Structures are given as structure tokens and as C-alpha cells.
């Protein structure tokens, strides 16, 4: 159920009976010469809306701009600073709580958002508002991703290329796949380019990849993209069902260990 397509009376029927929502989040940032800047938020919204349709839960509009300053050297990349991103997502999520939502899944497709969504979830649980957790699509199916690609790549690689080939094939510049591979960093085992004596020596993607992407994009196919999409959607559906079955009290912050502070005063 996509919230923006509904009327307020229809949503009243939902919140009277249900209390879970999915919130898709991505980014608007460079994904090499072959993929659109919309890649992450297209993936997040497609997965969130498909899982919401299969489980009949609420799906909010997508947060399209995320924490992406590490891609800023490439034309078109947009970002918000981390504190503002956290505050915005927290505020948006709290208005869901006002309407009766007490558990949220952040359907995330941008690695730069992950730690900040975890922090927002902690804030919301610590004050008893709701239980909100971050879910990253490729982390839900790591074995499959490793199985289907020899050189995966964490950004703009074959997994994201295959997903967009499935979700929005008209946006993939298939004539640039070899350019993406040859101008980027294919083998991530070449760690000397970004690690020195156990320290990460880089801050921005361009320091490791001239065209901003990693892995071998020529491995991607629409069929593989469909396989990844279905597997990730299945995992998200299972997560939603698991979360729906939990008692709210069991999701909240556990009690301090005994003896309780001040109990002997």
C-alpha cells in the first residue's frame, strides 16, 4: 500500500488495524558512466513497494537524497550532511508514530546511509517511540551476490547494474559497460590502493576509482537482476512478517541488569 496514492480515510482503515511501515531510502549520486544517478533510490523504492504489496503493509514516499559527500567530485551528485539526514529521517519517522505506526523498516540501498539509519533507530527505541531498523538489500543475500559475480564491487558494480537492468532497463547505458569496468577498480583485493598498515587512507570514491565505480559491470544481465530482486524481496517480506509478529514490548529497550539503579536506597 503506497501511502501517497491513498486517501486519508483509506489510511485511517489501515492504521486502525496495522502498525508497520516500510520507508525506502537511497541517494542521488554518480554510479559511473553506465548507470543513472537515481540507481540507489530506484532500487530501494522498487523493493519496498514490491514487498509492501506482497504483505499489504504501508510504504512511504522515498528519500531520494542521502549521505553521499564521498561522491561529490562527480557531476550531479547530491548529498545532505549526516546530522541533517539523521534529523530529517527521525522527524519523518516520528510523524508515522503520530499516526499509530510503532515499527518501521528502513529499506536502504545506499551504504552511506546505513550507520545513520541505525542511529535514528536507536534514538526512536531509546525514548520508547517505536522500533525502527535498517535493511540493506545486498546484505540480505550475500551468498547469492558472491555466487553470481566474480568481481562484485560495492558501488556501481554488476549487482547494481543487474538490478537496474531489471527495474529500469531503459536507463542503463549498455554501450558503456566496458568503459565502466576499464575505467574503474575491478579487483578489490588490490587493497594497497586504499589501505596502508591497517588504516583506510581515502575519504572519496575518486581516490580509488577514476570513474567512481568498482567491479566488472560486464557480468550483469537482466536475468541476474531479476534473480537478485526476487531473492532480496523474499528476504524483506520475511523480515516484515517477523517484525509484525513481535510484541511491541519485546522490541523495546531491555531493562537494566539487576540490581536496578537506586533499588537499595
Q: Are 214 and 182 in contact (CB under 8 A)?
A: no
Q: Is the pLDDT of residue 213 over 60?
A: yes
Across the chain, mean pLDDT equals 95
The whole-angstrom separation of Cα 125 and Cα 90 is: 11
Q: Quick one: which of 182, 263, 259 has its CA closest to 217?
A: 182
Of 132-141, 148-157, 186-195, 230-239, least confident by mean pLDDT is: 186-195
Taking the domains of the chain in order of start, what are their residue ranges?
Answer: 3-153+229-250
Q: For residue range 65-85, what is the model confidence (pLDDT) as tens digits?
A: 999 999 999 999 999 999 999
| CATH code, residues 3-153+229-250 | 3.40.50.10310
Which residues in 97-122 are b (16+ Cβ under 10 Å) and which e? beeebbbbbbbbbbbbbbebbbbbbe
Verify cis geometry, omega within 30 degrees of 0, for the bond prior to 259: yes
Q: For residue range 150-195, what is the model confidence (pLDDT) as tens digits?
A: 999 889 999 999 999 999 999 999 999 999 999 999 987 765 667 8
Whole-prediction pTM: 0.95
Helix, strand, coil: what percent of the chain each, to 5? 50, 10, 35
- Predicted local distance difference test score (pLDDT) of residue 190: 62
Radius of gyration of the chain (CA): 20
Average pLDDT value for residue range 219-248: 97
Amino acid at each position: 500500500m503506497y501511502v501517497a496514492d491513498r486517501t486519508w480515510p483509506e489510511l485511517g482503515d489501515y492504521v486502525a488495524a496495522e502498525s508497520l511501515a516500510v520507508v525506502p531510502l537511497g541517494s542521488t549520486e554518480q554510479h559511473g558512466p553506465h548507470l543513472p544517478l537515481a540507481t540507489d533510490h530506484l532500487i530501494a523504492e522498487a523493493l519496498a513497494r514490491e514487498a509492501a504489496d506482497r504483505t499489504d503493509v504501508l510504504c512511504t514516499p522515498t528519500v531520494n537524497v542521502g549521505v553521499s559527500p564521498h561522491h561529490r567530485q562527480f557531476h550531479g551528485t547530491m548529498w545532505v550532511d549526516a546530522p541533517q539526514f539523521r534529523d530529517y529521517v527521525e522527524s519523518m519517522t516520528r510523524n508515522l508514530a503520530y499516526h499509530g505506526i510503532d515499527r518501521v523498516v528502513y529499506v536502504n540501498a545506499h551504504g552511506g546511509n546505513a550507520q545513520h539509519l541505525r542511529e535514528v533507530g536507536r534514538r526512536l527505541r531509546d525514548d520508547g517511540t517505536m522500533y525502527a531498523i535498517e535493511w540493506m538489500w545486498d546484505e540480505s543475500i550475500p551468498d547469492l551476490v558472491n555466487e553470481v559475480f566474480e568481481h562484485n564491487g560495492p558501488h556501481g558494480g554488476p549487482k547494481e547494474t543487474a538490478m537496474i537492468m531489471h527495474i529500469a532497463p531503459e536507463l542503463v547505458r549498455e554501450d558503456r559497460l566496458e568503459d565502466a569496468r576499464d575505467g574503474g577498480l575491478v579487483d578489490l583485493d588490490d587493497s594497497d590502493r586504499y589501505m596502508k598498515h591497517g588504516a583506510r587512507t581515502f575519504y572519496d570514491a575518486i581516490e580509488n576509482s577514476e570513474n567512481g565505480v568498482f567491479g566488472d559491470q560486464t557480468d550483469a544481465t537482466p536475468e541476474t537482476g531479476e534473480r537478485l530482486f526476487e531473492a532480496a524481496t523474499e528476504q524483506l517480506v520475511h523480515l516484515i512478517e517477523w517484525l509484525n509478529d513481535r510484541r511491541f514490548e519485546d522490541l523495546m529497550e531491555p531493562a537494566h541488569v539487576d540490581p536496578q539503579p537506586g533499588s537499595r536506597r
